[in-house]
Structure 1
C-alpha cells in the first residue's frame, strides 16, 4: 500500500464572513456606534454648541443689533440672577420661589405616576379597562391646559388644588399611555412560558410584563414631567403670589426681560437636571435598553 500525500485544501471563504466582521465591530457599550468605539460620546460637541450659542448671544447684544429691552446681554442676566438670589423677588426669597414651584410640579408628577402607571398597565392587559378609560384620556390629552384652566378654577377655586390638578392632568395622559404601550413590549412567548410553569397572573405581571414595560414607562415619565414644567406657568397665572411661573409672568407685565429670562433658565435647568436623573435611573434599572 502506498502512502498518498493529501494535498492541502484551501479554506473557502465563508459567506457569513461579513456577518462575523460586523458582529465584531458591533458596539459593546451604550453610546458606541458600529466600528467607531466611543464615538457616541457627544459631551464635547454639546459643550461647544452651548459655547457657540453664548458667543452669538454676546455678539448680538454687544454690537447693539438688538435692544437690551428685548434681549439683555449675558452679563445683565448674571447680574439680575445675583440680585434676585440675594434680595429675592416681591418680598420672597428666590429659593422659596423655586421650592414652591418644584413642590407643585413634582407633587402632581408623583400623583400622576401613582395613578397613571397602574391604570396604563391595566389598559394594556385588559380590553375592558382599555375600552373604558382610553376614550376620555385620548379626548382630553390634546387639549391645551389653558383651555380647561377656567374649569379648574370654577370647580376647585383659586387655591393649590386647582394648580396641582392642572399640572397633574398634563402629566397623567403621557404616563398612562406610555405604560399601556409598554405592555406590548412583553413577548407573548414569555407570557405563555410563565403560565406553563404555573405562574399566577400577578407573578406574570411582576416578573414578565413589568420589566418589559419599564423602558417605555421611564420614557413616558421623562416626557410627562416635561409637560408638567410647561404647564407650571399656566397653573401659576391665577391667584399665585409665589413660584417661578408667577415670577416670570409678573416680571413680563413690567417689561423686566432679564428677570423673565432668569426664570426661564432656572425652570429649564431644574427640568434638565431631573431628566439627567431619569437617564441615570434608566441605565441602572433597564441596562438592556438600546442594546441589540
Structure 2
C-alpha cells in the first residue's frame, strides 16, 4: 500500500530521506591494537577514589587548625608552668631561655662547633645512611616479595636483628669498623634498613594477582611485570617505609654520635646533658624534631605526586 502511494506521488520519492546503509566491513576504520604499556596504564587509570574526597578540603583545613591550636596550647602551657615557677629551670627552662640559647649556639657555638656545623654533621650521617638503605633495602625487599629463595635467605636475618636496640649491637659495630664515621653511618643504616625492606616486601605482597595474570596474558615479560605492575602497586608501601625508616635513623643518631664524635646534634645533646645544660638539650631535641618533620612533609608531598590514588 505504501509502495503504491509512493509510485502515485513522485514528490514523496524526492523528499524522502535515503535509508542509512551500514558500511561494509572492508570500509570500517581499523584501529591499531594498544601496546603493552598502554594496556598496563589502563589497569591503573581506574583507581579507587581518595578517602579524603568524601570529606573534602574543609576537613583538611579543620585538621590543620586543630594541629595548630594543639601546638600553641602546649607552648602556652610550657610558658605558664615555667613563668609561674611550677617547674624548676634545671628540669624545664622557659621558652625564652631556649630561644636565647638557640641564638647563642647559632652565633657563638657550643662544644667547639656552631649549630649549623652540628646540624650539618648529623644530616650527613642520617641522610647518607638513608641513601644507602634506599638503594639496597628497597631492591632486596622487592626481591623478597617475588622470590621465595630470597625471602628465605633475608627474612630470618632481618627479623632477628630488627627488634634489637641499636645500643645492643653498637659494641660489635665498633669492634668491626672502629670509631670513625663509617661505624656511625653503618649503625644508622642498620636501623633504617629493616623497616624499608619489610615495607617493600609488604607492598609486593599486596599486589592483586589478577593484575599480574592480566599482564602475563598480554605478553609481558617478567621484568615488565615487576616494573609496570609490582613496583607501581608497591610504591605506597615503599614510601611509607621510607618515612618510618628516616624516623628510626634520627632515633639512632644519638646512639651513633656517642662514639668519639666531635660534632652533631646528638653529640651536642649528650654533651649538654653531662653538664646539666637543659636549655641546650631541649633546643637540640627541637631542632631534630623540626628537621625530621620537614622531611616527613617532603615525603607526604612525594606521595601526593607519585601515588595520588592512595589518598591522604
Alignment TM-score > 0.5, same fold: yes
Deviates more, 1:85-94 or 1:262-271: 85-94
* Distance in structure 2 (CA, Å) of the matches to 1:244 and 1:225: 16
Deviates more, 1:86-95 or 1:239-248: 86-95
Deviates more, 1:282-291 or 1:72-81: 282-291
Corresponding residue for 1:199? 220
**For each residue in 1:69-98, what CA deviation from the matched residue of structure 2 results, as whole angstroms up to 9, or x when unmatched?**
000000000000010011011221211110
User: When the two structures are superposed, what TM-score results if normalisation uses the length of structure 2?
Assistant: 0.82
- Does residue 146 (structure 1) correspond to residue 167 (structure 2)? The answer is yes
| 8 Å contact kept, 1:33–1:39 | no
RMSD: 1.5
| Residue 230 of structure 1, CA deviation | 0.2
* Distance in structure 1 (CA, Å) of the matches to 2:228 and 2:196: 21
Paired residues in the alignment total: 264
Corresponding residue for 1:170? 191
Corresponding residue for 2:243? 222
| 8 Å contact kept, 1:175–1:217 | yes
| Residue 239 of structure 1, CA deviation | 0.4
SS state of the match for residue 39, structure 1? helix
Corresponding residue for 1:285? 306
2:60 to 12, 21, 40: 40
User: When the two structures are superposed, what TM-score results if normalisation uses the length of structure 1?
Assistant: 0.88
| Residue 131 of structure 1, CA deviation | 0.5
User: Which consecutive residues of structure 2, in runs of 5 or more, have no partner in the other structure?
Assistant: 1-47
Corresponding residue for 1:122? 143
Corresponding residue for 1:60? 81
1:49 to 70, 76, 96: 70
- Does residue 184 (structure 1) correspond to residue 205 (structure 2)? The answer is yes
Corresponding residue for 1:92? 113
| 8 Å contact kept, 2:50–2:309 | no
Alignment of 1:212-291 (within 5 A): 212-290=233-311
**For each residue in 1:252-279, what CA deviation from the matched residue of structure 2 results, as whole angstroms up to 9, or x when unmatched?**
0000000000000000000000000000
Q: In structure 2, do the counterparts of structure 1 residues 191 and 95 end up closer, same or farther at CA, with 3 Å as the change threshold?
A: same
- Does residue 78 (structure 1) correspond to residue 99 (structure 2)? The answer is yes
User: Which consecutive residues of structure 1, in runs of 5 or more, have no partner in the other structure?
Assistant: 1-26
* Distance in structure 1 (CA, Å) of the matches to 2:116 and 2:57: 43
Q: In structure 2, do the counterparts of structure 1 residues 28 and 198 end up closer, same or farther at CA, with 3 Å as the change threshold?
A: closer
Higher relative contact order (CA 8 A, sep 6+): 2
* Distance in structure 2 (CA, Å) of the matches to 1:29 and 1:185: 18
* Distance in structure 1 (CA, Å) of the matches to 2:53 and 2:253: 37
* Distance in structure 1 (CA, Å) of the matches to 2:50 and 2:226: 30
